[in-house]
């Protein structure tokens, strides 16, 4: 899509580095955290997660086999219909054997392909959502662990913070199990997630996106194929008989039904694309507001750190400032997650 709407000034992939760079006290404990990390953890990117899920899905494989069979059956039908010469057609039954069978074969393949594509698109979105959920949960867990280290160093009570950490770790394990379920892996398998970010996508005008969605969405492909098939029936009956006959009237009714179903599907697609488009813009606006607020909180935090180093603040006072910075960073993580999920849902609504 052409870059016409926005380009985010602050990429969500920077959050991981932000957790270290923005906080001097947090950065000091990075080596300890790295040393405690598991030695053998497989790396996982968003693209590789999607690919792995698509390959391991039994439901998707079954649809792919159906699609393959439909393709070969359609090819066989087309070979047969092409063997029927137009000058050998003398009746409506002869025309049906050529034109309706030919149109039906093309329709069947398009519908089977759209069915498979719809399942693939839905699975892709589920994986993207799960990946971003794990990514956000992991970032919040690491942030909380580092905050507890700061509290412990000031001899302030960290009981509440540790309770919060337990909740965050539980949420992380649930998110991880959901992702691994989609990938066909053990629920507790750990991954070294490569930070993912979809917010760099740029949006074209809404009307342009909707027009492209009409051609790409699986549901639109299906109703378009049915309409084309119905039109083919009307055409050959009109050429080899009469539309005033019973078969002709039935064919015209079927075409009208197909046209109405196409119109309904088009309205639904139009509304869904518009809704997801607006959610992306809302998520972007929220993200930018939280980003600006976080930048202010970050500056206050750095000033507090300098005051602590200069002796104007105690370690306990500095820890209070750190807590405010923690809250701001947590909001930033959550906003980045919402933004990424909104973009993923938007892409799925357009048919990718």
pLDDT digits (tens, 9 = 90+) for 112-151: 999 999 999 999 999 999 999 999 999 999 999 988 887 8
As a whole number, the mean pLDDT across the chain is 89
* Residue 201 resides in a domain: no
pLDDT, mean of residues 242-250: 97
**pLDDT score for 16:** 45
Task: Supply the range of the domain harboring residue 58.
Answer: 12-31+43-194+207-349
Whether 202 maps to a domain, the answer reads no
Q: Is the pLDDT of residue 43 over 60?
A: yes
Residue 33 · residue 146 · CB < 8 Å? yes
**What's the pLDDT at 27?**
46
Measuring CA to CA, which residue among 302, 303, 348, 298 is closest to residue 327? Answer: 298
- Is residue 7 one of the residues assigned to a domain? no
Q: Assign 157 a pLDDT band (cuts: 50, 70, 90).
A: confident
Query: Using 50, 70 and 90 to split pLDDT, how confident is the model at 323?
Result: confident
199 occurs within a structural domain: no
pLDDT tens digit string along 65-99? 999 999 999 999 999 999 999 999 999 999 999 99
Judge contact between 135 and 16, C-beta under 8 A.
no
What does the pLDDT read at residue 139?
97
335 burial (CB, 10 Å; 0-12 / 13-18 / 19+) is buried
List Cα–Cα distances, 323 to 146, 161, 164, 271, in angstroms: 11, 10, 13, 43
Q: Is residue 312 part of a domain?
A: yes
Q: What's the pLDDT tens digit per position in 94-121?
A: 999 999 999 999 999 999 999 999 999 9
In the structure, what pLDDT confidence band is assigned to residue 22 with cuts at 50, 70 and 90? very low
Q: At what angle do helices 101-153 and 218-240 cross, to 10 degrees?
A: 170
Q: Which of 64-78, 175-189, 283-297, 319-333 has the lowest mean pLDDT?
A: 319-333
57 has pLDDT over 80 = yes
According to the model, what pLDDT value does residue 147 have? Answer: 86
- For residue 193, the cross-strand partners are 44
Mean pLDDT of 294-302: 90
Q: What is the CATH number of the domain that holds 169?
A: 1.20.1600.10
Q: What are phi and psi of 44, to 5 degrees?
A: -140, 125
Identify the band that residue 315 occupies on the pLDDT scale cut at 50, 70 and 90.
confident
What distance in Å separates the CA atoms of residue 260 and residue 257, rounded to the nearest whole number?
5
The number of folded domains in the chain is 1
Q: Is 89 inside a domain boundary?
A: yes
- Residue 6: pLDDT band (50, 70, 90) is very low
**pLDDT for residue 17 is more than 50:** no
Range in 19-28, 99-108, 300-309, 340-349 the model is least confident about? 19-28
What is the model's pTM?
0.85
Evaluate whether residue 324 is within a structural domain. Answer: yes
Residue 1 covered by a domain: no
């Amino acid at each position: 899509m052409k870059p016409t709407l926005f380009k985010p000034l602050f990429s969500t992939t920077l959050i991981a580095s932000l957790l270290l760079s923005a906080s001097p006290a947090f950065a000091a404990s990075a080596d300890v955290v790295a040393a405690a990390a598991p030695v053998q953890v497989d790396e996982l990117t968003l693209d590789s997660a999607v690919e792995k899920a698509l390959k391991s899905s039994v439901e998707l494989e079954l649809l792919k086999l159906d699609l393959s069979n439909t393709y070969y059956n359609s090819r066989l039908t087309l070979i047969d219909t092409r063997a029927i010469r137009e000058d050998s057609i003398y009746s409506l039954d002869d025309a049906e054997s050529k034109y309706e069978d030919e149109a039906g074969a093309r329709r069947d393949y398009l519908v089977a392909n759209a069915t498979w594509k719809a399942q693939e698109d839905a699975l892709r979105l589920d994986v993207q959502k799960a990946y971003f959920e794990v990514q956000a949960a992991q970032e919040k867990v690491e942030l909380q662990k580092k905050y507890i280290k700061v509290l412990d160093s000031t001899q302030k009570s960290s009981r509440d913070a540790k309770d919060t950490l337990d909740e965050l770790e539980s949420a992380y394990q649930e998110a991880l199990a959901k992702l691994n379920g989609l990938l066909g892996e053990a629920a507790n398998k750990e991954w070294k997630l490569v930070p993912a970010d979809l917010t760099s996508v740029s949006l074209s005008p809404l009307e342009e996106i909707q027009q492209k969605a009409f051609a790409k969405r699986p549901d639109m492909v299906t109703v378009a194929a049915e309409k084309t098939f119905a039109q083919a029936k009307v055409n050959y009956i009109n050429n080899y008989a009469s539309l005033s006959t019973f078969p002709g009237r039935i064919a015209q009714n079927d075409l009208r039904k197909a046209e109405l179903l196409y119109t309904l599907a088009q309205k639904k697609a139009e509304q869904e694309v518009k809704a997801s488009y607006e959610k992306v813009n809302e998520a972007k606006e929220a993200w930018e507001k939280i980003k600006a607020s976080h930048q202010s909180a970050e500056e206050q935090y750095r000033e507090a750190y300098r005051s602590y180093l200069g002796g104007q603040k105690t370690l306990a006072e500095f820890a209070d400032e750190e807590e405010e910075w923690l809250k701001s960073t947590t909001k930033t993580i959550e906003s980045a997650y919402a933004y990424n999920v909104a973009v993923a849902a938007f892409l799925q609504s357009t048919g990718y």
